[in-house]
Amino acid sequence: MATENSDQSSTSVTEIAKNGDIILVVGPHKKKIQVCSTVLKNASKYFNAMFGPHFAEGQDLHGDSPKGIPMPDDDANALEILLNIFHLRNDDVPETLGPTEVLDVAVAADKFDCIVAIKHAIRLWLNPGEFQDIVELGHLMAAAYRLDNARAFSEITLAMILLHKDSYLPLADEDIGLLEIVPWKVICFLEERRSRMRVELQQILLDGERGAGTDDDRRCSCSWSSRHSSAYMELLRTKRSGPLQTLDTTISEVLEKLENMDDPTISREWDPCDYRWHTDPKFKRMRNWRLNDFKKSKGLCIDCVRSSTVAARQICRIEH
């Protein structure tokens, strides 16, 4: 770790700590950021070692003559965000970041061993709410994985499952670089979970056929259940809600369609018999009850992804 004398006249200096005793010279464009070494040491184990008594960077630090510290290989924007958080410069901490910026901050936080110090700030940036593009969500997922944020990882991967209908292979593109952070098996887990959730939705639909009961009593002469079941299956065909028709639709869109689907209607030519146990079918009510339970589904478990084996005693931070 080498040091160099700062030349504040050559370029402007971003003063995060006005009386700071060091100036970090960051990135290929040598952005200069004045900060306080004591604050950095408290927030980061990396900086605590760098500015400790065993390295040259930690010697002769004075606020009236700040020492320049070259950091040519680091991302200036990501590091500046971290430094503003460390120094409680909340007005200069962005409320929103793009997914690639969030990942840059996560990589920097991991490198400088300061994840705890940015715990609350990063929670807002890891919210997948407004993003639907699979690559953007992939960057957020990688950031959550790098930060070991179990809840955010589950929420982001759930969004990737619900909002994406095509292949997950774009996440493996070398130009994106996500697989340098997350393991390959994440793609397999995403596809596996999405397939299972599609099957669960289809099972809910098929089970709805029994919403009018079954014709198992000899006292029914009007085929009450059969007629309602036939009308229900015809409704599914009309709404194109079969297995093949929903493959080209996101799970989120299928879910919305099912929640808004009305009960089937029976032909007027049919007259029900007077069997006492005939009651109005509750197709929609029963379906929505099952769908509400379905909507409690979780995304991937980061602890299971990190585990190399499926252990019976695996301790997971997210219940699933």
For range 214-222, the mean pLDDT:
66
The span from the CA of 284 to the CA of 211, in Å, is 9
* Residues 88/76, Cβ–Cβ less than 8 Å: no
User: Is residue 31 helix, strand or coil?
Assistant: strand
Torsion-angle region of 44 (φ positive above 0: left; ψ -120 to 50: alpha; else: beta): beta
Best-predicted range by mean pLDDT among 116-120, 134-138, 238-242, 272-276? Answer: 134-138
Dump pLDDT digits (tens) for 78-110: 999 999 999 999 999 998 899 999 999 999 999
Model confidence band, residue 1 (pLDDT cutoffs 50, 70, 90)? very low
Query: Is residue 227 a contact partner of residue 197, using CB atoms and an 8 Å limit?
Result: no
Per-residue pLDDT reduced to its tens digit, 187-205? 999 999 999 999 999 888 8
C-alpha torsion sign, points 79, 82, 88, 93? positive
Average pLDDT of span 66-78: 94
Higher pLDDT, 285 or 214: 285
Lowest mean pLDDT among 49-53, 106-110, 215-219, 316-320: 215-219
Structure-token pair, residue 136: 């953007």
- C-alpha–C-alpha distance, residues 252 and 86, integer Å: 39
> Could you tell me what percent of the chain has a pLDDT over 70?
87
pLDDT tens column, 143-198: 999 999 999 999 999 999 999 999 999 999 988 889 999 999 999 999 999 999 99
Share in percent of the chain as helix, strand, coil (round to 5): 50, 5, 45
Range 5-17 average pLDDT: 68
8-state DSSP, 16: S
- Of 149 and 319, which is predicted with more confidence? 149
For residue 2, give Cα distances in angstroms to 37, 58, 69, 224.
16, 11, 8, 85
Amino acid at 169: L
Residue pair 89/16 in contact (Cβ under 8 Å)? The answer is yes
Tokens matching residue 60: 């002769």
The whole-angstrom separation of Cα 92 and Cα 249 is 41
> Which three-class secondary structure state does DSSP give residue 218?
coil
In this predicted structure, the answer to whether residue 128 has a pLDDT above a threshold of 80 is: yes
Mean pLDDT of 243-251: 84
pLDDT above 70: residue 309: no
Residue 269 has what pLDDT? Answer: 65
Greatest Cα pair distance in the chain: 99
The DSSP output letter for 182 is S
Does 100 or 235 have the greater pLDDT score? 100
